Structure 1
Amino acid sequence: MIRSTEDRMTWVCTREPPMARLRLAPSPSRRAILDGGWWPTSRDPVVELCSLVTALTAQRGGVIERIMLQPAAWDRHPCRIGVDGAMVRVGWFTSLDAELVIITGPRDLRIDLAVIAPETAHAVATAAMLAASRPTTTRTAGTLPVPPSPRPRGAVRDGEDVAVWEAEGGHLRPDRQPTAPARI
């Protein structure tokens, strides 16, 4: 396999990375499937992973050695990133869910995080991160209350999203009274 120069280089974030939007379970639990949720601000893996590694190191301590991601969810695919003088290897696996990132380190360190798409609305992303960070969650990243891919702006006509919500059982308009279920 011939590797390009870009594949062999270690990418370093040249600007201050944004603060990671991250929510972790209070303590690691063997009963939970996920250890928390992460809501990146962009699809640039160098900036976002530097931010994530910095936050995880500060919150959980220890050294992050490897990060595993799904390539379709990101703009580029570096194999190594430099964070605070350390090198973190990045693996890209098409078999991994786009909504999951796996972080590993020494002494059996493993953190599984649900990844919420950067375009997700604030309320929805917050709810998903809360659900993922419950110490007893048995949900997988793909079953969190987040739409798998947000709709592009302008794809829904005004009022159409309300009709869809109403048809699915939600009530958005306060002037609409709920109807009694039909008896069979």
Structure 2
Amino acid sequence: MIRSTSDRMTWVCTGEPPTARLRLADPPSSRAMLDGGWWPTSRDPVVELCSLVTALTAQRGGVIERIMLDPAAWDRHPRRIGVGGAVVRVGWFTTLGTGLVIVTGRRDLRIDLTVTAPETTHDVAMAAMLAASSPASTTRAAGIPPTPQSPPSPRLARPEDDVDAWESEGGHLRFDRHPTAPVRT
């Protein structure tokens, strides 16, 4: 695999990053599926991830080494960011979903956060972060109330385009939504 120069660069936030709008479960619960919620102020991953790492380090301690995100919700996709003299690797996974960020680090540090879109209204974002940060919550990221995401790309703006893409990739659509039981022979 040939890597471009931008893949090898470490992006650093040149200004003071905004204070992260973050709500964490206190105390952390091993039963909860989520550790809290995060409401970024923009779709610039360098600025937002710098503020997130700074806030998480201050609140939970530990060394953050990796962050996993879905690329669909962000304007660009850096592979590394510099925060406080350390380098944090950023992984972009389309299978993760735009509503989840996973932060990992040393000594089994793992923090799963729901991500609320920057353009979400204050009341909706606060409700989503409150639900995600409940220590007794067993809700997964998919169970948090949906928040508006970025507009769909023009290429997949029409539902029939999505169907055509799926069919051309070898998938088959089922029009019934009821699960079927396995057939025993």
TM-score w.r.t. the length of structure 1 is 0.80
Checking the alignment, whether the CA contact within 8 Å between 1:66 and 1:90 is kept in structure 2 is yes
Checking the alignment, whether the CA contact within 8 Å between 1:81 and 1:88 is kept in structure 2 is yes
> Structure 1 residue 97: deviation in Å?
1.2
Unaligned runs of 5+ in 2: 152-185
Unaligned runs of 5+ in 1: 152-184
Taking the TM superposition and a 5 Å limit, the aligned residue runs for 1:24-103 are: 24-103=24-103
> Structure 1 residue 46: deviation in Å?
0.2
Identity of aligned residues (%): 77
Q: Look up the SS of the partner of 1:89 in the other structure.
A: strand
Checking the alignment, whether the CA contact within 8 Å between 1:33 and 1:138 is kept in structure 2 is yes
* Structure showing greater Rg: 1
Q: Which residue does 2:122 correspond to in 1?
A: 122
Q: Which residue does 2:3 correspond to in 1?
A: 3
Q: Look up the SS of the partner of 1:142 in the other structure.
A: helix
Provide Cα deviations, 1:71-103, integer angstroms capped at 9, x if missing partner: 111000000000010000000011101100000
Checking the alignment, whether the CA contact within 8 Å between 1:125 and 1:146 is kept in structure 2 is no
Separation in 1 of the partners of 2:25 and 2:18? 21
Separation in 2 of the partners of 1:49 and 1:150? 18
Separation in 2 of the partners of 1:62 and 1:150? 32
Q: CA RMSD in A?
A: 1.5
Separation in 2 of the partners of 1:94 and 1:106? 25
User: After TM superposition, which residue ranges in structure 1, 4 or more long, deviate above 6 angstroms?
Assistant: none
Question: How many pairs does the alignment contain?
Answer: 152
Checking the alignment, whether the CA contact within 8 Å between 1:102 and 1:110 is kept in structure 2 is yes
Checking the alignment, whether the CA contact within 8 Å between 2:36 and 2:133 is kept in structure 1 is yes
